[in-house]
Structure 1
Amino acid sequence: MILKKLTYRPDIDGLRALAVLSVILFHINPQYMPSGFLGVDIFFVISGFLITSIIYKEMAEGTFTFANFYNRRIKRILPVFFVVLFTGLLIAWYFFLVRDYYGTANSAIMAVFFLSNIYFSRLGDYFDVAAEQRPFAHIWSLSVEEQFYFIFPLVLLFIFKNKYLKKHKIGALIVGGGILLLSSFVNLKKIGIDLDPYYLPHLRMIELLSGAILSVFLFEKGNRLTTKQSNVLVIIALLALLLFLYLKNFFVFPYFPGVLALLPCIATCLLILANEKGKYIKQLFSLKLIVWIGKISYSLYLWHWLVLAIFRYIYGSGALAIPQLIIAIILILALSVLSYYAVEQVFRYNKLSFKKNLMFFYILPSLVIVAFCYKLYKTEVPEYLMKFPHYPPIACNSCKDKETLMTFGDLNSNYPYKILFAGDSNTAHLVPFIEVVGKKEGWKADVISAGNCPFLFDYQHKETKQDCITMNEYLAKHYKEYDIIILSNTIAEDTYIPNFRQRLLNTIKKLLQEGKKVYLINSSSVYDIDLPKIKHIEKTLGIRWGIPFKGEKYQQNTQHWNVIASMVKDHFPEVKIIDFLPYIPNDGCINNIPIVLDINHLNSYGAKKIAERFIQDGKIMIK
């Protein structure tokens, strides 16, 4: 064992700079660095290496205590962390609609308990457009890191205490990493776990562990590379890492995170190893400006996403316009510098005990955040911002049992035919319509829906979520029990579901062959703006957006629907087609109140008003 004195390496701060700039460039515009999100993987390796170097030396010398370890973590991580959380919550409280603030508050509470990664893994795809407007979506990586450090010191201490494992520390850690790697081959969806693997700790801890293994290796074996070998190896490692960062869509490859994530992790480990004795690349990474960026990288990471998310909430997802981007970058840099010098550096070296730091920098701010969020939960939500105001949410777990299937309309009806509404969220938002029209016409209907999930008999895809699989399995088993089946899906699914049109025709054909009456409903469109949000921002900032509600996107989507409707009518004239778009005003409002929830769903108020107009127009839904 080689217990050398731990010395500061500016080149590692330079590597931090590469990591944070990669992430920021990717989040500004993925075209700038297509796989810049791998900067997080680089951070994990660096963290695992540095933290292990400290605690390994302490354990070897017999000076390690958990109190000291977590005291350092609190002082290093939490002060600026809570500053960012408080700031984000206050900004969201001012700018966000209540419906959107709920999600922000939930994510803040999960962040406080270091469970952000689990929370966001349940919400869905990290690369989804909706994620761009979640202020605390980036906190998932801190949660993974802290979860690792709740476990790893115990593991390492156990290895030190065990006579056999103490002689085989590197091997023990490699075996542990191998077990984690094997877990990446488990298809979670097949065992009923519908979580986005991008965030899951057992897949991400491999990356932290790779840095830890390098640290233990250097303590046990030392760095035997010559300067010449180091100079060659560091160039190879840097080129490989840059290749991975610029490689397009690294995340679409199988087993990422997991086995594939080892590639950038190994390249990072080799950079750290070779740069210890290297010369030229080490000098590059040790330049004052690069090192300074590395030093403020934690603040940069925390602030950059918050600022970008707020800007995208106001101006819309995607690439920001140049003026907006310039302002955002200035804000990110200013806030990062301020928090580094006024928060990080001030509190990092305080002399308080572990108990006092735990109280002042974790327990108290956590209680304040939870209390603040709880108060906002009590805020009454206007009806026009509600999806489902007075009944349980329509979730696909309601599809599993006949007894829990949701039924709406005239519940006392003796209507002779059984009716089923089935489809994606464009079915779910019809429930207030079904309630009003069903009671007027004297029928009731079962409703089954799952987000982004059309009712198609032969739709199975590797990316299909469990609730969608459950819904379609239920429908395949029980559809024969119904006389009338009403399909309401977003036509946008035609753009991402393979052979959507043919699948839709096949489904309708099968239903008709079984003697079912089939309806096809176009209950909404894709509008050019999120009307409730835009109205709120216009009122808050005192500006006029000037973007039409029914603009280019709406026209394109309407044309798309017309093509689908004509196709269905040509093949199956007996299918009843109902289009709600004529009942939706050009400004998206009735009585100056928005009737839409977002860019493509009716809200509760809107669905009721559409029902009233439908009835006033003399229309009959089901005869």
Structure 2
Amino acid sequence: MSNSFSYRPDIDGLRSIAVLLVLFFHAKFTALSGGFIGVDVFFVISGFLISIIIFKEINENQFSFKTFYLRRIKRLAPALIALLFLISIPAYLFLFPVDFERFSRNLIHSYLTTSNFYLWQNTGGYFSANTDLNPLMHTWSLAVEEQFYFVWPILFILLNKITKGQYLIQIMATCLIGLIALSIYLANFYSHSAYFLLPARAFELMMGAILAVSYHKLPSIKQNINHAISIAGILLILLPAFIINKQSTFPGLNALWPCLGTVLLIISGKDTNQKGVINSVISHKSLIGIGLISYSLYLWHWPIFSFVHYLGLELSGIIRIAAIILSFVIAYLSWRFIEQPVRHLNLPTFASAMKKIMLPSFIVFTTMYLLIDAMEGFPHRFNKLEEFDKKINFPSTVRRKCHDAFLIENIDQCWLGVQKEKIDGMLIGDSFANHSAALIDVFAKDAGLLIHDSTAGSNPILTRFNNQGKLQKDPEYAIKRLEAALKYEHIIISANWSLYSNPNDLNYTRLIQTIEEISKHNKKISVIISLPGTTKLNLHKLKLAKSAKFVLFDNDFAKISKTQYWESPLATEFKNRFPKVNFIDMKDVMCQNSLCNLTLDGTILYRNFNHLNTIGGTLIGEKYLKEIGNPLISAKYSK
């Protein structure tokens, strides 16, 4: 590969199309329902440009891993480091403690180029609810790209050495077919991991790499044919951007088309004198300018949009226009004063870059992460949100010795009501039983009862079955817990009954049978039915409204849940089949006209979108006592 590769303005124009697709998609322009494919265009371009340099240097015996990674550091690290440091300032000002803790974890993962793994493990997916509130959600793609470049040079050197340059393209093409098949498989069966992780995205970078290997061997193409190729290329990029959406299977086959379109546009612009019509169009200086700042624009637009969402504002109208303009302004400043100067810094060696750039920033970000994590997100910043103080109001923390401890009859640690010799009853169930502990504590104290609690996730009564019909956890704990509960007069059960909505489901049937078996023991059985879940956004707006720090929307929007009265089919069947069972339904005191209050006496009741906090459970219990009475006193025996 003796031929040199000269600068191509149309590739910068192609970069501008890619970043604009992503930007307009994130700006909520509904017509561009598939604008996220701009990232895939970036992957192909990156695979092509980086690989063409690697291949040239390898063939000229000039390739050095240290030089390669020095270039990557100088190209990508400074702008990313500046972003991570600067957005930590508004993050400290605006993000609530739990979100600030998550931000700190994502921060260090973004720096270490492992954020795709972090987001894969800690989100419901790229398009899941509340991802708009994560300022670093977009860093997954940077991680995927860098992970490819940790692996690819080594693989290429091995391939080149083994094949001695013979059949290299054919071998790479075979690998490409396998990677496309893998992406299709993962996208269909493991969509969450497919979106975030390298294996399902590797074919996109590999397409660019194969084009790089074969670039100087491509035959000369007549201009009229290049016109057709370029038109086909841009259509393969733009049509998916308007046709596919969040529900489409992705990446897989749906990602192949924009990647192929990118390859065609690079091919049709190879010969400067015979380039395609679209290559000429995207070589316009305005698009070149956007292409030049595309990396910084990608970095900065998402955090700006995210903070707009975080403040409870709609990304529409004048706010959307202002956010887009601000993104361009900061992107230009980042390119002009960070990207460009650092490229000309005196960093002659990889060691010098590590010493002057990477090591100091690593120390800074690690310190930030450890400090934020140790201080639990600095909750003192939002003193009015005491109900979100983990230590006193998160049931999972308050009762950590009882919930998911898998202990039974550890009554010295896990008791509700009044302390005395005789245990009167037992609270069992999953995380919904744990968040009901404060409610039961109110009732037990009023009735003079001592209630022991033992709760664990995935154990509504007995251990839950998964979709394959296998028990999710060892059944021994749940079986012994139920045996222990049968010793006492009161058996109180709480679970997320809404999970069990299909009467034909094994869990549904088993829960009915278990309640029926318990009923034969002539106990006072109480079943707790929790409030319906709200939305993460609704809860977020409640916190914003109460904090009174950045209220930029109508507070009334967040005062009540829009969730309709929805009774779990399982809870309904419980009531119909077991009339002597005592039902403690929180909706009886918290809901009217199909709307449920999310607050009581100015206190937010929820810890997250479907679990109560400790003070919330207490307040509901006190309201229930006042309006209905004590259900543990009025409870009947089951026989």
TM-score between the two structures when normalised by the length of structure 1: 0.83
Aligned residues: 594
- Conservation of the 8 A alpha-carbon contact between 2:402 and 2:414: no
Structure 2 residue identity aligned to 1:206: F
1:264 partnered with 2:258 = yes
Q: CA deviation at 1:141?
A: 0.5
The question of whether the paired residues in 2 share the 8 Å contact of 1:524 and 1:602 is answered with no
Q: Give the aligned partner of residue 228 of structure 2.
A: 232
Map 1:164-563 to 2 at 5 A: 164-181=163-180, 183-184=182-183, 196-219=193-216, 221-249=217-245, 252-253=248-249, 256-277=250-271, 278-315=275-312, 320-353=315-348, 354-379=350-375, 381=379, 384-385=387-388, 386=390, 387=394, 388-392=396-400, 408-409=414-415, 415=423, 419-422=427-430, 426-433=432-439, 441-449=449-457, 460=467, 470=472, 484=491, 486-489=493-496, 499=502, 506=509, 509-516=512-519, 519-523=527-531, 525-526=533-534, 528-530=538-540, 533-535=543-545, 538-539=548-549, 541=550, 545-551=554-560, 553-554=561-562, 556-557=563-564, 559-561=565-567
Higher-Rg member (1/2):
2
CA–CA distance in structure 1, aligned partners of residues 299 and 108 of structure 2: 16
CA distance in 1, matches of 2:193, 2:420: 42
Distance 2:508 2:581 in 1: 11
SS of the residue corresponding to residue 397 of structure 2 reads coil
Q: Are the equivalent residues in 2 in contact too, given 1:206–1:258 (CA < 8 A)?
A: no
After superposition, the CA RMSD in angstroms is: 4.0
Where do 1:56-67 residues align within 5 Å?
Answer: 56-67=55-66
Q: Secondary structure at the match of 1:389?
A: helix
Q: 1:584 to 1:331 in 2, by over 3 A?
A: farther
Q: Which amino acid aligns with 1:351?
A: N
- For 1:542-601, what per-residue CA distance to the aligned partner results, in whole angstroms no more than 9, with x for missing partners? 7674325433x44x43x3349986676346534533222466699866675544334543
Deviation at 1:49, TM superposition (A): 0.3
SS in 2 for 1:29: coil
For 1:436 and 1:421, the matched residues in 2 are separated by 18
Q: Which runs of 5+ in 1 are unaligned?
A: none
Q: Distance in 2 between matches of 1:395 and 1:322?
A: 47
Matched letter for residue 345 of structure 1: Q
Q: Which amino acid aligns with 1:322?
A: G
Amino acid at match of 2:266: I
How far the C-alpha of 1:363 sits from its partner, in A, is 1.6
Q: Which moved more, 1:209-218 or 1:606-615?
A: 606-615
SS where residue 47 of structure 1 aligns?
helix
Residue-by-residue CA offset, 1:94-150 (whole Å, 9 max, x unaligned): 111111100011100111111000000012211012111101010010011111111
Change (3 A) 1:349 1:428: farther
Letter of the structure 1 residue corresponding to residue 585 of structure 2: D
Contact 1:508 1:518 (C-alpha < 8 Å) held by counterparts:
no
The residue type equivalent to 1:331 in the other structure is L
Looking at structure 2, the residues matched to 308 and 501 of structure 1 have their Cα atoms a distance apart, in angstroms, of: 44
* Residue identity in the other structure for 1:294: G
TM-score by length of 2: 0.81
Post-superposition offset of 1:301: 0.6
Distance 1:458 1:471, change over 3 A: closer
* Structure 2 unmatched runs, 5+: 380-384, 520-524
Superimposed CA distance per residue, residues 407-433 of structure 1 (whole angstroms, 9 cap, x where no aligned partner): 9435998658765313xx645533544
The residue number in structure 2 matching 1:578 is 584
Paired with 1:61 and 1:227, the residues of 2 have a C-alpha distance of 32
| Alpha-carbon displacement from aligned partner over 1:54-77 (angstroms, at most 9, x marks no partner) | 111111111111121111111110
Cα distance change, pair 365–505 in 1 and its aligned pair in 2 (3 A): closer
C-alpha distance in 2, partners of 1:188/1:34? 18
Do 2:458 and 2:464's aligned partners in 1 also have CA atoms closer than 8 Å?
Answer: no
Indicate the residue corresponding to 1:18 in structure 2.
17
Identity %: 28
SS in 1 for 2:7: coil
Partner of 1:154: 154
Alpha-carbon shift at residue 510 of structure 1 (Å) = 3.2
- Structure-2 residue corresponding to 1:3: 2
Q: Which amino acid aligns with 2:322?
A: I
SS in structure 1 opposite 2:209?
helix
Change (3 A) 1:264 1:457: same
Amino acid at match of 2:586: F
> 2:599·2:605 contact (CA, 8 Å) conserved in 1?
yes
Q: C-alpha distance in 1, partners of 2:375/2:9?
A: 49
1:196 alignment partner, SS class = helix
Quick one: structure 1 residues 194 and 275, their matched pair in 2 at CA, closer, same or farther if it must change by over 3 Å? Answer: closer
Q: Is the contact between residue 12 and residue 272 of structure 1 (CA under 8 Å) also seen in structure 2? A: yes
Structure 2: distance between partners of 1:139 and 1:268: 22
Does the 8 Å contact 1:122/1:194 carry over to 2?
A: no
In structure 2, relative to structure 1, the CA distance for the partners of 1:76 and 1:611 (3 Å cut) is: same
Question: Residue 233 of structure 1 aligns to a residue in which SS?
Answer: helix
